Amino acid sequence: MYTYAFFKTPISPLKLPPGIKGSLEIISFYGLSALVEPNLKSHDLPDTDEQLIQAILIHDQIICAIFEQTILLPLRFGICFHTAASISEHLALHQQDYLQKLEQFQGKAEYCLQGVPLEPTPNTPTQTPPIDSSPQRGRDYFLAKKQLHQRQLEHQHQQTQEWQQLINTISQSYPETRFAESQPNRERIYILIPQTQAIQLQEQLNKWQDQSLHWQLTLGDAIPPYHFL
């Protein structure tokens, strides 16, 4: 029984989208509910890359569609329970913890701030001159190459300083943050805030961009609190 998310048992009926392969249902137990696709089992999940990616996209779209209607605890792709009874047992076992988290996340959403490092744009050419056989031209070549390397090091140092300053600023202003593992061409910071503060966050992004000349900063849309469970 494929499971997408847990949430407080809704007072009003939720509008359920289609599932990965079939229809969705809600299983409720003592104030908590699970969104499930009862006819989808773990062995029914696609095994080819293209179909798997499509299923993951549908999984996230379903969670976001329900998130627009109620706060929830999203589950990662591929979570299945054997029966409805096993889901009820799970909800009973974790009832207090899940209710506490749902209360903590009430009215909030996660926003992903992404930073892409910009390539250096020096005023002088970045390409070293072609090698010449004469001693003077050879010295010019190696001097230009050394200068290019120095500019690249300075650029990377400035990038590192700017990103660290951004981390410090965000940590002070937004206590609920998570930092993704660094990647060569991308950095990500996840920020959890009340959705009513989304406009202010966008305004802050503009200020951060002005202070981060060596980065291209973008802010994602509101999504469920994936990184704060």
Average pLDDT, integer, range 55-79: 96
Give the rounded percent of residues in the chain with a pLDDT score beyond 70: 89
Domain limits of the chain? 2-106, 109-125+133-223
Which H or E element spans position 214? none
What is the architecture of the domain spanning 109-125+133-223?
Answer: 2-Layer Sandwich (3.30)
pLDDT the model gives residue 125: 47
Residue 133 has pLDDT above 90, yes or no: no
Residue 18 has pLDDT above 50, yes or no: yes
Alpha helices (H) in the chain, listed in sequence order: 49-67, 84-93, 95-105, 135-173, 198-211
Average pLDDT, integer, range 193-208: 96
pLDDT in tens, 91-122: 999 999 999 999 999 999 999 999 999 988 75
